[in-house]
Amino acid sequence: MILFLLLLAAFLCYNIINNLYYVHMFQLNGYKPKVQRAWLAKRLPPILGRCLLILFGLVFVPFFPVGGKIVSILCFLLSAYLCRPRKAKKPLVYTARVKRLLCTDGILWVLICVFLFFFRNLLPLAAVLLAAASFFAPWILLFANFINRPMETGINNHYINDAKRLIRQSPSLQVIGITGSYGKTSVKYFLQTLLSTVCDSLMTPESYNTTLGVVRTVREQLHPTHEYFVCEMGARNIGDIREICDIVLPSYGILTAIGPQHLESFRSIENIVKTKFELIDSLGDRGTAFLNYDNEWIRNRPVSCKTVSYGIEYQNADYFGTDISVSKNGTSFRVIHKGESMPFFTSLIGAHNVQNLVGAIAAAHTLGVPVKELQMGVRQIQSVPHRLELTRRQGITIIDDAYNSNPTGAKAALDTLSCFDGVRIVITPGMVELGEKEEECNFTFGRQMAKVCDYAILIGGDRTVPIQNGLIQEGFPKEKLFVYRQFAEGIQRAYALPSGQKEKVILLENDLPDNY
């Protein structure tokens, strides 16, 4: 019996450590059971692979009661060691919710051990149950989440209602919602910089663009002195933006762009349009919408509120960016509004940034920021982290666009790379969450890369095949194409590539999190 208890202890140790990985993936998947189940369905072979060593040990239990248990104990402990948490791009954050989930999950595993104890004398059945429980560990975690759901819903509702109270107790606060398939984070940072030249404003930090991210920002950072709240609103499903709008009650809305992003969850571009316009629809008759008229899905949809259009291609826009001149030192451009021509210069690079800057300028100018303050603010704007962020490392120029993962932004990043002289290198895992269009978009991306870069370094195996095909179709030299499984290997290769007397310029285009 003591040996069987030791076996159960090793079994419990392995599954608790193993489940830290699945909790981490669940957190990266937004605590959404549907997304987690889809993620698990695509990874059945690796899940089974994690159990192979355990299965090897349990095979001996029915035939060698003592020796089999000892082997199984060693296999469980070795598997626990091999499954220990590793360094991640975005580590597991032990939030209160994660701790509650781990606690419930741990209780379930203790109950499973108690249940298995009663089969200690039926070794063949016990071995099968031990193996089955280990394989179904990710789904047991989802069951633990199901048990916690009423409690989590109650806690979330408390936080949401508290945020609503704080918003309603700030009658002079003007809320500016920002959404779009891409560009929303950049416009948020740009607008915050422009508004801060004349008033006290708050913005959602980093990528706090979910309902609970916005709620946390309001509860922890909103003060009575804030005149504006620049609120980024992200979405993966219909209704996500409407839920945020019901909390913060925006008076202004900026719609930066609409494109085929997150098609795996939205299913169609029509659903994306519907969801992004939830912000504009929430404004009512008294609100003002700032719309990027370069985007046909935005331009062609009628709205009921007051609109201010902007763009760099649609010349009839209320705020039109023109005379764009890009160099590695920065970008100069002019904004035309009601016949007035306003010159600007920014240290940011790329026409794609100008479009977002024009959107921020349109909003800030409409809200009363004088032109001189706008010009000074645009000069002060710094690169948004990981969005065409220009840095230098070891004498090499790095264009960090690691947070971008859409066809339009990827093309804009390549256009930016083309402005630099020297040896041009692209490191990318490609684009994801594009549904049925993913392969086509990555193939096109490969063709575009072939026309710009001198070396292509792809991160990932099968997923990058469409990019490889696009590069090869355009005649890109195979000896200048490299494929690695890990980013660290790719960047090491990039540093080692020959450049002669030329400067080396590396574009980091997208960097997938650990759940890909």
The residues, ordered by sequence, that sit 6+ positions from 292 with a Cβ below 8 Å of its Cβ are 180, 183, 255, 256, 257, 298, 309, 310, 311, 355, 359
Token pair for 296? 């046909």
Token pair for 148? 């916690």
Token pair for 74? 């060693």
Residue 93 CA to chain centroid, in angstroms?
16
The residues, ordered by sequence, that sit 6+ positions from 210 with a Cβ below 8 Å of its Cβ are 30, 234, 240, 244
Residue 25 CA to chain centroid, in angstroms?
13
pLDDT of the residue at 398:
86
DSSP 261: -
pLDDT tens by residue, 53-96 = 777 666 666 666 777 678 777 877 777 777 777 776 678 888 88
CA distances from 412 to 56, 312, 406, 417 (A): 51, 14, 10, 9
Domain with CATH 3.90.190.20 in the chain: 389-509
- For domain 170-380, give its CATH number from 3.30.2400.10, 3.40.1190.10, 1.10.10.10, 3.30.70.141: 3.40.1190.10
Domain with CATH 3.40.1190.10 in the chain: 170-380
Rounded Cα distance between 473 and 511, Å, is 25
To the question of pTM greater than 0.95 for the whole model, the response is no
Contact between 34 and 236 (Cβ < 8 Å): no
Residue (of 454, 406, 459) closest to 428 by Cα position = 459
Which residue do the tokens 């499973």 mark? 112
CATH number for the domain formed by residue range(s) 389-509: 3.90.190.20
Each of the 516 residues of the chain gets a pLDDT tens digit; together they read: 677 678 778 777 888 888 888 899 888 888 888 888 888 888 888 888 777 777 766 666 666 677 767 877 787 777 777 777 777 667 888 888 999 999 999 999 888 888 877 766 776 777 778 888 888 889 999 999 999 999 999 999 999 999 999 999 988 899 999 999 888 989 999 999 999 888 899 999 977 888 989 999 999 999 989 999 999 998 878 888 999 999 999 999 999 998 776 656 667 878 888 889 999 999 988 899 999 999 989 998 888 889 999 999 988 999 999 999 887 778 999 999 998 999 999 988 877 789 999 999 999 999 999 999 999 999 988 877 777 777 777 778 888 887 766 787 788 888 888 878 888 999 888 887 677 778 888 888 889 988 888 899 988 777 788 888 898 888 899 888 988 888 888 888 888 888 777 888 888 887 654 544
pLDDT of the residue at 516:
44
Which residue do the tokens 């209704």 mark? 239
Q: Kindly tell me the burial class for residue 223, based on how many C-beta atoms sit within 10 Å of its own C-beta (0-12, 13-18, 19 or more).
A: exposed
pLDDT tens by residue, 256-305 = 998 776 656 667 878 888 889 999 999 988 899 999 999 989 998 888 88
Q: Is 234 left (phi over 0), alpha (psi -120 to 50) or beta?
A: beta
Contact between 175 and 249 (Cβ < 8 Å): yes
Token pair for 290? 């700032």
Contact between 482 and 400 (Cβ < 8 Å): no
Which residue do the tokens 């202890």 mark? 9
Q: Is 475 left (phi over 0), alpha (psi -120 to 50) or beta?
A: left
